[in-house]
Amino acid sequence: MSDLKPPRGTHDILPEDHRRHRHIGDTACDTAALYGFEEIATPIFESTDVFSRTLGETSDVVTKEMYAFEDKKGRPLALRPEGTAGVARAFISNMRSRPMPLKLFYQGPMFRYERAQKGRQRQFHQFGVELLGVAEPLADVEVISLGAHILDALGITERVALQVNTLGDTDTRQAYREILVAYLKDHQKDLSPDSQDRLGRNPLRIFDSKDQGDQEILKGAPLLTDHLNAASTDFFGAVCNGLDAAGVAYDLNPGLVRGLDYYGHTAFEFVTETLGAQGTVLAGGRYDGLVETMGGPSTPGIGWAAGIERLALMIAEPPAPAMTIAVIPVGDEAKAEALILALQLRRAGFAVDLGYSGNLKKRLIRANKAKACAAVLMGEEELARGIATVRDMETGEQTEVGLSALEDHLARYR
């Protein structure tokens, strides 16, 4: 048993770490609710087709990183590598008749077979939002503003920067693709093998290449933003004007792209320089063609996802848990009464640690380890008199308190 460890790329989230995760999730949930978003939970595994359709059959996620398997009846399934596809599938399956817009948020584990490193695990956790049914640029502004609001509530606004770009509409992207391919073909022999493979199928994905040679070639590539049609220019202008009005600071990043055809118009990322290579903490974009690609009705959408592990590395220590009160029976006769008292105090809103065994000294040592602020000592003599002895664990001062007045006396330790 001593050699058992979590699988590579996974880790146990211990209580002190989980407090950070819980704080991030609670903050994000509470803030999203202020914007009218409701929580949804989709299965951790789905039909492989849900992700191969949405992420692209030739994407790295599908071909290299997805945990795909067959169940006992040979049906192809996959652990979810991201959250948007599952939400879109849930919309098609269960929510098509609901009034629009749909404003949804989710949180939970995702899975990708990547090289494990700080801030990037094979099992990781995300919080995300999706807004379906609104084609107007105001939806983009609100979704981005929500992301900024959450990061501000977490106290990390000063350490992140918002980058935005436009991918234009379908006509813009088709025209730009021809221009980009013509440029890249002149450098084809110098592209990495992966980028050469992408050139014929999805040239915009070459912008995502981590190869240094590819990045040097891309420095001279024509920019999509220089080839926008009037409709795309107007849409992006409305988004930028909205962010300005909302007081959300941003930088334009013409190299920020999304490679799949159903992505269009706004793409954005909140990035930081404090996490090394894992600099993106929240990213998203508009995906008006996604639901239709999956076999649903034409439905505009925009959303984002944030990495909880990365945010946990950035936030300050969350508020400490509630101060604990130790209830300590002295002698076997007091055990049942101590149990009853502990339950009563918990129902009254106190955090209570009940010692299970040991003499008074050992139980007080346990109370100190549990960081109890007070200890309630109950023995046969105290019970006969209808009192308990309350010890302040910081000062050592002891006070006899009637059981009927105990809750009022302990209120100072909440």
Domain range 15-169+229-312, CATH architecture: 2-Layer Sandwich (3.30)
Residue-wise pLDDT tens digits, 11-45:
999 988 999 999 999 999 999 999 999 999 999 99
* Structure tokens given for 237: 């202008």
* Structure tokens given for 398: 């002891």
Closest of 407, 316, 277, 256 to residue 19, by C-alpha:
316
Strand (E) positions, 287-345? Answer: 301-307, 324-330
CA distance 343 to 376: 13
Mean pLDDT of the chain: 90
* Structure tokens given for 233: 């220019």
pLDDT along the chain (414 residues), means of 10: 80 92 97 98 95 72 83 95 95 95 97 80 96 97 98 96 94 88 88 85 80 88 89 97 98 84 90 83 94 94 96 91 88 88 94 84 85 91 91 92 93 84
pLDDT score at 44: 97
3-class state of residue 45 by DSSP: strand
Closest of 81, 188, 87, 83 to residue 133, by C-alpha:
87
- CA 47 distance to own-chain centroid: 23
Strand (E) positions, 188-265? Answer: 251-252
Q: Is 51 exposed, middle or buried (0-12, 13-18, 19+ CB in 10 A)?
A: buried
CA distance 373 to 380: 24
Cβ within 8 Å of residue 37, ≥6 positions away: 103, 104, 105, 129, 131, 146
* Structure tokens given for 384: 């006969």
- Say if CB 209 and CB 195 are below 8 A apart: yes
CA distance 165 to 140: 12
Q: ω before 7 within 30° of 0 (cis)?
A: no
CA distance 94 to 156: 37
Cβ within 8 Å of residue 353, ≥6 positions away: 324, 325, 326, 327, 366, 367, 370, 372
DSSP bridge partners of 47 = 77
3-class state of residue 178 by DSSP: helix
* Domain residue extents for the chain: 15-169+229-312, 324-413
Residue-wise pLDDT tens digits, 167-176:
999 888 888 8
**Assigned CATH topology for domain 324-413:** Rossmann fold (3.40.50)
CA distance 32 to 48: 30
* Residue 95 DSSP code: I
- Say if CB 382 and CB 388 are below 8 A apart: yes
- Say if CB 267 and CB 285 are below 8 A apart: yes
Could you tell me the pTM of the whole model?
0.88
CA distance 79 to 71: 12
